[in-house]
Amino acid sequence: MDRFAEYRGRRAGWYGGMDSVLVELGVDGLGSGAPVGLAVTQGGGAVAALLTEHLLPLTLGRRLEAVADIELLAEQLRLATHPYGSAGIAAMARSAIDIALWDLLGRLRSEPVYRMLGGDPSPMPVYATGNDIEHHRDLGFTASKVGLQYGPWHENGRARASDQIIGARARAGADHTLMADGWMGLDVPFVRSVSAALREAAFEWLEEPLPPDDQSGLALVAEVLGDVALATGEHATTHAELLLTARSGARVLQPDIAWCGGITAIRRLAAQLPPGVELTPHLSGTPWGLHVAAALPLVRRVEWYVESEPGEPLEAVQGPLTGGPLPSAGMISPREEPGLGIGVHAEFIDRWAGRAHTINAR
């Protein structure tokens, strides 16, 4: 949207309701202390409406004894959204149900999700997302992804973006891995013009330079980047679109597990990716992202979005969920507790309750 002057640099002016949506799923007949599966996605009131008016009622009374039960329901919910489209907010809604079901099944089995997936909980590298590289280093991260602040629609955008890239390397030092994020705001000529700076500064990848539906443009970007990898997929929410992206030259595929169909969808995708493609889910430092990363060999590292201010620890900023692990010395592991090992901050429930529509899905 930066191509339009009235929205340039003002994502909040057009981004819409992307508030978090919490899903809780439980089972009947086990009493008041029965396990509850949890998940959070985005999409605000639109996703909440899809969940309460259409998808959650389809989960009522369903059997949950095995992974196959989750996989069956995931496919049925995908097909049920075809009349209005299974991508976008429908995929977000389905993802939340799927993740909550995996969490619930793990709790019922007294087993962490990564173990149900056949994974290994060994520590994994984690990279920081944000533009304060010095803060990242102080927190123990050894890799950072920075957002490009200039694009083809800004005055002297190419020169300013190149200066930002070279300056980031100077601030990071030679021993710190760097990646750049274009957040769908570039074009092919612009990428060509800054590719030399990306290579000179030894950036590992350029992320999401174009919208996900510009497959021909993404293929051209992959060519002009040379040794710098094309990373993309965050805003692609269907299996077919993600596979096409991987086959169009993306060397790092980045679907968001809470947007593309959940844990079930990401497992299916990983099994069909072409050789040589790294799977690095968007915001994979989430509890579900860590369990998936521990189980899929194609995932070599996970992403942590740094929200704390310089001088503050990561835990200074709290989200709606409790119990998730924090990175330490640039590494992170999933929890050993049953399911995803998470709970909910009561104050977030209170904050959302006034806007929420609820359904008894237990």
Q: pLDDT, tens digit, for every residue of 16-42?
A: 767 889 999 998 766 677 899 999 999
Q: Which of 23-27, 81-85, 136-140, 223-227 has the lowest mean pLDDT?
A: 23-27
| CATH number at 124-332 | 3.20.20.120
Percent of the chain surpassing pLDDT 90: 86
**Using H for helix, E for strand and C for coil, what is the string for the chain?**
CCCCHHHCCCHHHCCCCCCCEEEEEECCCCCCCCCEEEEEECCHHHHHHHHHHHHHHHHCCCCCCCHHHHHHHHHHHHHHCCCCCCCCHHHHHHHHHHHHHHHHHHHHHCCEHHHHCCCCCCCEEEEEECCCHHHHHHCCCCEEEEECCCCCCCCCHHHHHHHHHHHHHHHHCCCCEEEEECCCCCCHHHHHHHHHHHHHCCEEEEECCCCCCCHHHHHHHHHHHCCCEEEECCCCCCHHHHHHHHHCCCCEECCCCCCCCHHHHHHHHHCCCCCCCEECCCCCCCHHHHHHHHHCCCCCCEEEECCCCCCCCHHHCCCCEECCCCCECCEECCCCCCECCCEECHHHHHHHHCCCCCCCCC
Q: Are strands 343-344 and 321-322 parallel, antiparallel or unpaired?
A: antiparallel
Q: What is the pLDDT, as a whole number, of residue 30?
A: 66
CA gap 19, 352 in Å, rounded: 10
Please check the confidence at residue 227 and state whether its pLDDT lies above 90.
yes
What does the pLDDT look like over 140-195, one tens digit per residue? 999 999 999 999 999 999 999 999 999 999 999 999 999 999 999 999 999 999 99
Q: What is the pTM of this model?
A: 0.94
C-alpha 183, offset from chain centre: 13
The answer to whether the CB of 60 falls within 8 A of the CB of 223 is: no
Token representation of residue 218:
């993404």
When pLDDT is cut at 50, 70 and 90, the band that residue 358 belongs to is very low
Superfamily for the 11-111+343-353 domain: Enolase-like, N-terminal domain (3.30.390.10)
Q: Tokens standing for 119?
A: 């994974």
Spell out the domain ranges in the chain.
11-111+343-353, 124-332
